[in-house]
Amino acid sequence: MTNRSKHLDPNRVYEPKRCWVGDTHKIIYDTLEEAELAAKVAEYDHHSGQLKAYKCPYADHYHLSSN
């Protein structure tokens, strides 16, 4: 079994992977499903309005967009 304690350290701040898209530093989501779930969470938690997942034009991952 893998050591999961490194993911549960309350003293460690989670810093997501990011990618430059144009002049914006966007969060990377490895799968479309992960990006769509993050969009729903952001809409609910932050009242952000509808967000859509899209494939990064520069690499093999996904980002969120408000338009």
User: Cα 26 to the chain's mean position, in Å?
Assistant: 8
Burial of 27 (0-12, 13-18, 19+ CB in 10 A): middle
Residues 6+ apart with CB under 8 A from 49: 43, 66
Helix (H/G/I), strand (E/B), else coil: 20: strand
Indicate whether 4 pLDDT > 60. no
Tokens of 8: 């549960």
Mind listing the pLDDT tens digit for each residue in 5-58? Answer: 556 677 888 889 999 988 989 999 999 999 999 999 999 998 888 999 999 999
CB 29 within 8 A of CB 61: yes
pTM: predicted TM-score of the whole model, two decimal places: 0.75
